[in-house]
Structure 1
Amino acid sequence: MKYPIGIITFFLALGIIAGHYFGLAQNIAFLIVIVAITLLIVSFWLSKRTFTPTIHFSVVVLFFSFCFGLSIQSVHFPPNHKLHYTHFIHSGNPIIKGYVSERLKPNDYQERYYFEITSVNQNPVNGKILLTVARDSTQNNYPHPGDSFIIADNPSPISKPLNPDQFNYASYMEKQGIFHQLKLKDNFIRTGTITKFDYYLGNFRERLINSFKTHHYSPQVQNTLNALLLGQRQDMDSTTNNAYKNAGVLHILAISGLHFSVLFYLLTILFKPFNRFKKHGRILRFLSIIIIIWGFAFITGLSASVIRSVVMFTIISLGQYLNRDTNIYNSVFISMLILLVANPYFIFDAGFQLSYLAVFAIIWLESYYRKFSLSKHKPISYITDIISISLAAQIGVFPLSLYYFNQFPLLFLVANIIVIPLSNIILILGLFVLLLNFIWTDAALIAGKALELLVIAMNSFINWIASFERFVIKEISFTLLLTLLLYVVIAFFCFWLYKKSYRNTIALLFTILIFQGAYSITTWKHNQDEEFIVFNNRKSTTITLKSSKQLTVLSNDSTALSNAAIKAYSRAGFATKIEQKPLQNVLWFSQKKILIIDSCNTYLPNLKSEIIILSGSPKINLERAINDLQPKEIIADATNYKSYIKRWKQTCIKQKIPFHATAEKGYYSLK
C-alpha cells in the first residue's frame, strides 16, 4: 500500500472496538500481544531471508496491530486498575473524597460535572464519576473546577433510558470511562480547593470569559463567543443550538480544524520575522507556534476534534521546521494513530468520527474538485473553494450524520457560503478583542461593538436559514449496517470519479444494489414486527400499537405525536404511517385482553383480563381487583404516585403476580 500506516491504524481501531465489546481481562490481552510480538519477530526474520516479498509479514503486522488495540483498550479500561474506586464502594455508604475536574453540559434539571475521586474510606483510589447538582434559579454557588468535597453516599449506576430507542446516556458515559454518578444534596461538605492543573486551567478559562463582561453582551452573543473562541458550549440555549443544526452549520460551534487553520495561519505570519535570526530563529518560531496552539487546545477542553487538529498542525509545523513536506494522508493517519494509542475511547466519540471522516473526504476528493476552479480572481475562487470543501466534507459525514442525527439540512451549502467566512472574521476579531480586554479597555469596547454586530448578523442569518423547515428532512430511519454500506457506496463512487472504467462502473452499481437490498430487507423486517408498548411518560398515559407500517398512538394528550420518545420509537421502527387515537379502557393485542384502570376507579368485576394497566393513581383495593379480574400481570405507568406504586408492588409480591413499574424498570413491551 502507498500509505501502510492507514491500514495499520484501521486494524488498531478494530482491536479497540473488539476489546471494548468482548471485555478481555488484562492478563489475557497481554498474553495475546506477547504472542503477536513473537509472530512479528519470526515473520520479520523469515521475510528478510527471502528475495521476493511475502504476504505473511503483512498479515502478521495487521494481526499485531489488532492485538495491540486489544491491549491498549484493556490498559485504559479503568476498572482493570487495582486502585479504581469501583473496588472500594461495595459496603454501606462509603466516605468519598475528591474534587471537581470539569463542568459538563447541563440539562433542564441538573448541573453536571466530572468528579475525580481521590479516596474512599481513607483508601487512596482513582477514577472519575458523574456528579450532578439540582438546578435552582436562586442558587449561585455551583461547584467550580478544583472544588473539593467529602461525600457520604454510595455511587449509583448512571440511569439508562426508560423508553425504547432513545439516546443511551449511560452507554455514552461508559465509553468515556464513567460508570457511576453521585447527587449532591444533603450528603456532602465542601473542604476547600485542590489547586491542580484542572483548577488553574478552569480559572484561566473563566477569567477569559469574564473579560467580556465589560461589553454587556446578551446571553446569546456571549454564549456564541464562548463556543467559537473557547469551545465552551455548556450554556448554549437549545433554540440557538437547533438553529445551527437545522441550518447545517453545527460544526461552526465545535472547535476543529477550521479554527486551528485560521489560528495556525495567523501565527505563521506573526512569527515569520523570527526566521531572520539565523541561529535560533526557526526553532523559536516552531516552539512558539506549538506552545500557543497546544495552549489553545487545553483552554478549549481537549475534545476529540481539537486534539485531532492540534496533532495534525503539530506534524505540519514540524515538517516546516525540518524543511520536509509532510504528506497530508500520513499526517492524518499518524495523528489518528497517536490519539487512539493515547486514548482508545476516542474511537467511540462522534466528534472524533465526524472530524476524521470530513478530513478524509476533503483530501481524497481535492484533486477532483480542484479541476472545477471557475475563476482566477481570489474572491470568486474563495467562494468556490468553500462550496467544494463543504460538499466534500458533507459527503464524508453524510451517512454518519443520518445515523446520529436522523436529519439532513438541504440548505447547508447556502448557509456555509456565508457562515464560514463570517465565522473566520469573528474568530480573528474575537481573539483580538480578547487580547484588548486585558491591555486596552477603550479600544476593546470599540472593537467589541463590531464583534457583537457580526455575531448578531451571523445568528440572525442562521435563524433565517433554519426557519425554512421544509428544507430540513427530519426523522430519517437509518441503522448502523446501512451507514457502513453507504460508506462502501461512497468509496466506490469516488473510485469511479477518478477512473470511469467498466470495472469501476460495475463495482459501483453492485454496491448500490447491495445497499438497496439491505435497506429493503431492513424495512421489511421492521414492518413484520407487531408490538404493544406502555411508555414511561409522567405527563399522561401513552401506549403504542405497532402493526406492519402502521403505528397507532393511544393517548389523551393532544401533543403525544410530538413526544420525543414516540418520535424515536417510530423512527427506529421504520414506521411510515402514524396516527393518534384516544385512550380506551379495554384493548386487545395478540389475543390478550388488556384493561386500563385510571383515576375513575371503575371496572366491571366480571371483565377478566390478562393484563391490567394502572394509570393516574386510582384509589382501588388492588387485592380485591386481582381476585375479581384474575390478571396474569400488572403494569403501573409513570402517571401514578410513587407511594401507590410501592404499595401495589407489595400486594403483587404477596399475590405472586408479576408487577412492572415503568418508572423503575422502563417501558413495558409485549410482542
Structure 2
Amino acid sequence: MTVLKYPIILITVIFTLGILAGSHFSLSLTFLCILNFTTFGALMISFWYAKKSFLQKPYFTISVLFFSLFIGMLIQALHYTPNQKLHYSHKLTDETPLIKGVISERLKPNLYQEKYCFEVTFVNQQPATGKILLTVSKDSISKQLNPGDSFIIADTPQPIQKKTNPYQFDYAGYMQKQDIFHQLRLKDNYVRTETLKNFDYYIGQLRNKLTQSFSIHNYSPEVQQTLNALLLGQRQDMDNVTANNYKNAGVLHILAISGLHFAVLFYILTFLFRPLNRLKNHGQLIQLILVLSILWGFAFITGLSASVVRSVVMFSFIGIGQYLNRNANIYNSLAISMLVLLSVKPGFLFDAGFQLSYLAVLSIVWFEPFYKKIKISRYKAVNYFGDTVLISLAAQLGVLPLSLYYFNQFPLLFLLANVVVIPLSNIILVAGLGVLILNFLWIDAALYIGKVLETLVQIMNGFIAWIASFDRFIFKDIPFTLSLSVSLYIVLILTAFWIYKRNYTRTVAVLCSFFLFQCILAFTVWNNKNKDELIVFHNQKHTLITLKNNNEISIISTDSLAKESSSITAYNKGNFNQSLKLRPLQNMIYFKGKKILLLDKDALYKQNIKPDILILTNSSKVNLARAIHQLNPKLVIADGNNYKMHIKQWAATCQNAKIPFHATAEKGHYIFK
C-alpha cells in the first residue's frame, strides 16, 4: 500500500479530527485564534530550521499536524452560525419578534406538514442571518412554496423538539448539523411580501420547469417520482413504499445523485465535446470549461447535496488533471477534494451521504488492484457484470459498518440487485436526460423515447420490489453501536493491508482486530442485557412504561398493540432485541425497593401508601397540592397523555412545594436505574 506516502492524506485526516474536536468542545473563537497563531509561528520556525538541516527531524511534521488540527477547530467554530454576530438568535427578546426571510429550499415533508428551509434576513428591521425550519400544514396553503417566496412572520422561534424516547432518531440533532436550531409554524402569523429573485429562485424555477416538462408523457406518480430522483435529485415526494423497496433491496444509492451519475455524465460529455480538441487555439480548454460548466450546472439543479458536491468536485479535479496531462494519484484527489469541501462547509462531515459516499469510493479504489486480477470469462459482457458485482461488493464492504450503525439492516440480495439495477439505471439516466432535452426541442421524438423510458423505469422498480419482497433475506433491526462500527472498520482496514501483503505481523494484527471486535460486541451485549431500568415513555395516546429485568422487557400499558409501537421497537432494538412481555397497567409498580404510584383520571389512592414517585397520566383530576401533602412523594412525573394546561398547573404546584417535576412532553422520557 502506498496511501501513507502522500502527506495530504494525513493532513486531511488530522484536519477532520479538528472539526470533530471543535464541534464537541465548543472553544471560544479568541482562544482558537491564539492557538492557531501560536502553532503557525511554530510551523514557520520549524520550517526555517528544516531547510537548514541535512538530516530532518520530526519537528516540522509535528507542527504541520498540530496546525492542521487547530485550523480544523477554528474553521468549525467560524462556520458555527450562532457564533456569528448577525445570527438571529442574538436579536430575540422577550417580545414577539418580526422575522423577515425567504424560502431557500423545500425539505422532505411528513404526512401532515410541508417543511422548508427559511433564510432569515431581518429581525425587527435589523439585518440578521441564519436558517430556521419552517413548517406549514398541508391543508392551510393551497400550493407548495417555492425558493424565493418571502415572508414577514410575527412569532418567536421555538427549539426543534429533541427525541423524546430512547434510541429514536434525533431529528433535532440532525437539523443542528445543518445549522438549523429553531422552527416556525406558518399559520395566521405572517404577511407575504415580494418574491426575491435570487439564485435559489432561478434554480428552483428551472428545476420546476424541467419537472413540468414531463407532464406531456402522463407518467404514473411512481415513474415520475423515480425520474425526479434519478435526474433531478428530488426525492421529497417519493412514496414510502418505493423508497423502502430500494432500501430493502440494497440499492438506495441509485436514488441519490452521486458519483455513478456524474461518472456517466462526465464520460458522455467528454465524448461529445472531443471534436473540440482539434481546434488549434485552446480547444482542450474550451472542452474542459464546457464539461465542467454542465456538471456544475447539473449539481446546482439537483440541490448541491453532500454526495453531489463530493462527486462534482472529484470529477472537476479529474478533468483538470487530464487537461494538464497529469494523472493525479486517486488517494490524493480524494483527500484534496475532501479538504476543500470541509474547508468551505465543515458541516458536510456530519452528513451521512457525505460519509458513505467517500467511504464507498475509497473502498472501491483500495480494493481495485485485488479484484482487477479476477477474470471471470474471456467475454467482455460477462466480465462487465462480474466487475459490477465485485465493485458493488467492494463498495458495500466500505460502507457496511456505517450502514449498520445508521440503518440497522443488511440486505443479503444486494449483489443480485446491483448487477441488474446499476447498468439499467445508467441506461435510464442517459435516456432520461435525452427525453428531458427533447421535451423542449422535439416533442414527437420525446413522446416516443419517453414510452421506452417509462417501460425501463417500470421494469427497474418492479425488479427492485421483487427483490425487496424476500423478507427472509433482509436482516432488520440490527443493533449496532458507534464503538462496534469503529472496531469493525479496524477489522476491515487491517484485513485490507493483509490482503496486499501477507506476513506474520499483519496476520497477528488481523487476528487481534477480530478479537477486539468480539470483545466489544460481547461487552455491549452483556451490558445491555444485564442492566435493570424502568422507563416512563413519552406517548400521547396511551401510558407507556417499560420495566427491564435482565433478558426480559415488560411493557406496562393499556395499549394492546404496544409491542408494535415505534417507541418499543426502537428501544428493544437498542437493547439487542430481548423478549417482550405485555402487562396490564397497574396503579402501583415496585422497582428496586421504590414504590411508584400512577394516578389516572379517576385519581384514586390511599393516603397511607407513601410512594417515592408519583406518575400523573390521562389528565388526572387529582388535587395535586393535597396529594403531595398526603403522599409526600420525592418526584412527580407527567407523561405525554395529559393536557398541556394540566401540566402547566402541576409544574407550578410542584415548584411551590419544592418537589422535582418532570413532564415528558418537555423533557422526554424518564429513566430509573
C-alpha distance after superposition, 1:613-659 (max 9, x if no partner)? 22223334444444444433222222222233333334434444333
Pick one of 56, 71, 75 that aligns with 1:72.
Answer: 75
Q: Kindly tell me: are residues 630 and 70 of structure 1, through their superposed partners in 2, closer, same or farther at Cα, counting changes over 3 Å?
A: closer
Code of the aligned partner of 2:634: K
More off after superposition, 222-231 vs 178-187: 178-187
Quote the Cα distance in structure 1 between the aligned partners of 2:564 and 2:6. Answer: 49
The 8 Å contact of residues 412 and 473 in structure 2, kept in 1 or not, is answered as yes
The 8 Å contact of residues 601 and 622 in structure 2, kept in 1 or not, is answered as no
The 8 Å contact of residues 498 and 506 in structure 2, kept in 1 or not, is answered as yes
1:600, distance to aligned residue in structure 2 (A) = 4.7
Quote the Cα distance in structure 2 between the aligned partners of 1:377 and 1:140. Answer: 57
Equivalent residue, structure 2, for 1:330: 332
Quote the Cα distance in structure 2 between the aligned partners of 1:465 and 1:579. Answer: 33
SS at structure 2 position matched to 1:376: coil
Quote the Cα distance in structure 2 between the aligned partners of 1:121 and 1:616. Answer: 41
1:134, distance to aligned residue in structure 2 (A) = 1.6
Confirm or deny that 1:25 pairs with 2:24.
Answer: no
Quote the Cα distance in structure 2 between the aligned partners of 1:160 and 1:153. Answer: 20
1:603, distance to aligned residue in structure 2 (A) = 3.5
Quote the Cα distance in structure 1 between the aligned partners of 2:615 and 2:330. Answer: 61
Code of the aligned partner of 1:127: G
C-alpha distance after superposition, 1:206-254 (max 9, x if no partner)? 1111111111112211111111100011111122111111111111111
More off after superposition, 602-611 vs 275-284: 602-611
Pick one of 105, 111, 115 that aligns with 2:114.
Answer: 111
Equivalent residue, structure 2, for 1:304: 306
Pick one of 524, 545, 548 that aligns with 2:547.
Answer: 545
Equivalent residue, structure 2, for 1:422: 424
Quote the Cα distance in structure 2 between the aligned partners of 1:135 and 1:611. Answer: 41
Code of the aligned partner of 1:289: V
Confirm or deny that 1:102 pairs with 2:113.
Answer: no
1:351, distance to aligned residue in structure 2 (A) = 0.7
Equivalent residue, structure 2, for 1:86: 89
Equivalent residue, structure 2, for 1:385: 387
Equivalent residue, structure 1, for 2:399: 397
SS at structure 2 position matched to 1:583: coil
More off after superposition, 531-540 vs 362-371: 531-540
Equivalent residue, structure 2, for 1:458: 460
1:369, distance to aligned residue in structure 2 (A) = 0.7
SS at structure 2 position matched to 1:371: coil
C-alpha distance after superposition, 1:533-592 (max 9, x if no partner)? 111111211111112232222223232122222122222233532232222222111111
SS at structure 2 position matched to 1:532: strand
Code of the aligned partner of 2:406: Y
Code of the aligned partner of 2:571: Y
Pick one of 483, 486, 489 that aligns with 1:487.
Answer: 489
Give the % identical residues. 56
Counting only pairs closer than 5 Å after superposition, residues 83-232 of structure 1 correspond to structure 2 as 83-136=86-139, 139-232=141-234
Q: Kindly tell me: are residues 45 and 651 of structure 1, through their superposed partners in 2, closer, same or farther at Cα, counting changes over 3 Å?
A: closer
Quote the Cα distance in structure 2 between the aligned partners of 1:130 and 1:331. Answer: 35
The 8 Å contact of residues 110 and 134 in structure 1, kept in 2 or not, is answered as yes
Equivalent residue, structure 2, for 1:51: 54
Equivalent residue, structure 2, for 1:319: 321
Confirm or deny that 1:268 pairs with 2:270.
Answer: yes
Q: Which runs of 5 or more structure 1 residues have no equivalent in the other structure?
A: none
1:290, distance to aligned residue in structure 2 (A) = 0.4
Equivalent residue, structure 2, for 1:670: 672
Equivalent residue, structure 1, for 2:341: 339
SS at structure 1 position matched to 2:620: coil
TM-score, normalised by the number of residues in structure 2: 0.97
Equivalent residue, structure 2, for 1:366: 368
Pick one of 551, 558, 579 that aligns with 1:577.
Answer: 579
C-alpha distance after superposition, 1:277-297 (max 9, x if no partner)? 122321111111000000000
More off after superposition, 14-23 vs 317-326: 317-326
The 8 Å contact of residues 223 and 458 in structure 2, kept in 1 or not, is answered as yes
Equivalent residue, structure 1, for 2:560: 558
1:9, distance to aligned residue in structure 2 (A) = 0.2
The 8 Å contact of residues 17 and 69 in structure 2, kept in 1 or not, is answered as yes
1:318, distance to aligned residue in structure 2 (A) = 0.8
Quote the Cα distance in structure 2 between the aligned partners of 1:302 and 1:497. Answer: 37
The 8 Å contact of residues 136 and 185 in structure 2, kept in 1 or not, is answered as yes
Equivalent residue, structure 2, for 1:535: 537
Equivalent residue, structure 1, for 2:10: 7
Confirm or deny that 1:249 pairs with 2:251.
Answer: yes
The 8 Å contact of residues 358 and 397 in structure 1, kept in 2 or not, is answered as yes
Equivalent residue, structure 1, for 2:353: 351
1:449, distance to aligned residue in structure 2 (A) = 1.4
Quote the Cα distance in structure 2 between the aligned partners of 1:618 and 1:40. Answer: 67
Quote the Cα distance in structure 2 between the aligned partners of 1:621 and 1:89. Answer: 37
1:606, distance to aligned residue in structure 2 (A) = 4.0
Quote the Cα distance in structure 2 between the aligned partners of 1:542 and 1:519. Answer: 30
Code of the aligned partner of 1:335: S
Quote the Cα distance in structure 1 between the aligned partners of 2:561 and 2:298. Answer: 45
Quote the Cα distance in structure 2 between the aligned partners of 1:96 and 1:319. Answer: 47
Quote the Cα distance in structure 2 between the aligned partners of 1:239 and 1:560. Answer: 24
The 8 Å contact of residues 403 and 483 in structure 1, kept in 2 or not, is answered as yes
1:143, distance to aligned residue in structure 2 (A) = 2.0
Q: Kindly tell me: are residues 489 and 291 of structure 1, through their superposed partners in 2, closer, same or farther at Cα, counting changes over 3 Å?
A: same
More off after superposition, 610-619 vs 490-499: 610-619
SS at structure 2 position matched to 1:96: strand
Quote the Cα distance in structure 2 between the aligned partners of 1:476 and 1:666. Answer: 25
CA RMSD of aligned residues (A): 1.6
The 8 Å contact of residues 549 and 575 in structure 1, kept in 2 or not, is answered as no
Code of the aligned partner of 2:95: G
Equivalent residue, structure 2, for 1:503: 505
Equivalent residue, structure 1, for 2:283: 281
The 8 Å contact of residues 233 and 255 in structure 2, kept in 1 or not, is answered as yes
C-alpha distance after superposition, 1:421-447 (max 9, x if no partner)? 111111111101111111111221121
SS at structure 2 position matched to 1:179: strand
Confirm or deny that 1:659 pairs with 2:651.
Answer: no
Quote the Cα distance in structure 1 between the aligned partners of 2:194 and 2:273. Answer: 42
Counting only pairs closer than 5 Å after superposition, residues 463-478 of structure 1 correspond to structure 2 as 463-478=465-480
TM-score, normalised by the number of residues in structure 1: 0.97
The 8 Å contact of residues 133 and 183 in structure 2, kept in 1 or not, is answered as yes
SS at structure 2 position matched to 1:193: coil
C-alpha distance after superposition, 1:252-275 (max 9, x if no partner)? 111000110111111111111111
Quote the Cα distance in structure 2 between the aligned partners of 1:655 and 1:502. Answer: 69
C-alpha distance after superposition, 1:138-165 (max 9, x if no partner)? 7423321001111111212111111122
More off after superposition, 87-96 vs 297-306: 87-96
Quote the Cα distance in structure 2 between the aligned partners of 1:364 and 1:230. Answer: 30
